[in-house]
Structure 1
Amino acid sequence: MTRPARGTRVVLVEDHVLFSESLELALDLEGHDASSVSPTAFASSQALLSRVLRLRPQLVLLDLDLGALGDGRLLIAPLVEAGAEVVVVTAATDRTRWGECLALGARRVLPKSGSLNEILATIRRIERGLPVLASGERDALIALARQHSRERADARQRLERLTPREVEVLGRLMLGETVREIAVHFVVSEATVRTQVKSILAKLAVSSQIAAVGLANRAGWQPPGGAEGA
């Protein structure tokens, strides 16, 4: 990966105007060529990415929350492949997501609750070819992300064992419906629904409805075809 020179071309991908303007001003005062790109101006993440790449950034300060465009993590790998250094600046506190960003090639993840000086110091270290994160911390965060990925894949495999009706029942449990409400909706007996719930718990290897819903949520699972809202 090429090392940025002094007067780095920095692109901020950020939709919070006040934060973006403050950071852009600080970067300008440091002698950088800074510009901002707001996700709200684009209809797709691909259009946003194309715009950022046309600016030929040496370093991108990337927010993870792209609003309607989704998760900023999707931009990390293509930006890195294009030769840009990526530093994620986010309000997200989930260290699993931080590790995923690092695994995708981001140099560092910084919290928005931190100081501008911390962001500027990180850029200076990147300019000088210095590490911006202790290797032990980087390794630990990436390991956490990979463990989460394995657990999520395992959860999805369990969810795939459910029958179409069990999928619908779990979807309604995720909406907070009771066994009685589910029975009324499907015009079956409560005993039938309880049997279906028991089967769901067995296939997911959990001991309660709350645990089943939690597993589905952690896996990012939604019933196919929006079954939970049918």
Structure 2
Amino acid sequence: MNATIRPGGPVRLVLVDDHAMFRAGVRSELTAAGAGVVDIVGEAPDVDSAVAVIREQRPDVVLLDVHLPGGGGVEVMRRQPSPDTCYLALSVSDAAEDVIGTIRGGARGYVTKTITGPELVDAVGRVADGDAVFSPRLAGFVLDAFAGSIDVAAVDEDLDRLTEREREVMRLIARGYAYKEVAKELFISVKTVETHMSSTLRKLQLSSRHELTRWANDRRLL
């Protein structure tokens, strides 16, 4: 069932994600559930093209993936291609550092890719109206960060030592994935996973995957 038509006209939206098939799926969901509510005026697969299309279209809302070629979603917001545009993060990641870092970077909300089409239409509309929108579990990360129970500065300092790929490997290993499973998930070789794991342990001064799991859990990165 379609959402109620917005009195002020549809929300003009730019969709930014580096996976073409995912963008097509989101476009289909928004078209089906958001007739009269959302008008997709542009798409982009990376930071540079996102900045260009946002600057050209001046959308009301950008639906923004966190991990993008060229510097990530935060880099798009940092460049401020359209000062009046609101950003809603849509990511597969529900890790605390991604949520907090993206909100600190300027996003008005953060939802995960398990969201349904109607829920996403509602989230886009609410962000366009000035609300902050989060998936229920993620709201706790933001509240904890502002309350001081998560030391955001310490988390950032630790993670700054790791490359983006090392962070991805770290999170999967800490969640209990075997090396072969990590390799399959990230489309890399087992040998590359081992190399990233060794580098991560060295940089974080840890000695085992058990210590890595405890380290990540203590920082709410899982």
Equivalence for 1:24: 27
TM-score (norm: length of structure 2)? 0.57
C-alpha contact 2:90 2:112 (8 A) present in aligned 1: yes
Return the alpha-carbon distance in structure 2 between the equivalents of residues 73 and 101 of structure 1: 6
Equivalence for 1:15: 18
Matches for 1:156-175 after TM superposition, within 5 Å: none
SS at 2:9's partner residue?
A: coil
Q: Offset of 1:142 from its aligned partner?
A: 5.2
Q: 2:115 aligned with 1:122, yes or no? A: no
Equivalence for 2:99: 98
AA of the residue aligned to 2:157: A
Q: Which 5+ residue runs of structure 2 have no aligned equivalent?
A: 1-6, 162-194, 217-222
> When you count helix as a share of all residues, which structure comes out higher?
1
C-alpha contact 1:87 1:106 (8 A) present in aligned 2: yes
Q: Which 5+ residue runs of structure 1 have no aligned equivalent?
A: 158-172, 178-199, 219-230
Q: Offset of 1:84 from its aligned partner?
A: 0.7
SS at 1:69's partner residue?
A: coil
Sequence identity (%): 19
After superposition, the CA RMSD in angstroms is 4.1
SS at 2:133's partner residue?
A: coil
Taking a change above 3 Å as real, the CA distance of residues 144 and 65 of structure 1, as seen in their structure-2 partners, is farther
TM-score (norm: length of structure 1)? 0.56
Return the alpha-carbon distance in structure 2 between the equivalents of residues 155 and 92 of structure 1: 15
C-alpha contact 2:67 2:73 (8 A) present in aligned 1: yes
Equivalence for 2:183: none
Taking a change above 3 Å as real, the CA distance of residues 152 and 18 of structure 1, as seen in their structure-2 partners, is closer
C-alpha contact 1:100 1:142 (8 A) present in aligned 2: no
Equivalence for 1:52: 54
Q: Aligned residues, how many?
A: 167
Return the alpha-carbon distance in structure 1 between the equivalents of residues 129 and 160 of structure 2: 43
SS at 2:110's partner residue?
A: strand
Describe the superposition over 1:81-132 as per-residue Cα deviations: whole angstroms up to 9, x where unpaired. Answer: 6111100001112122101111122111111122122211112223444443
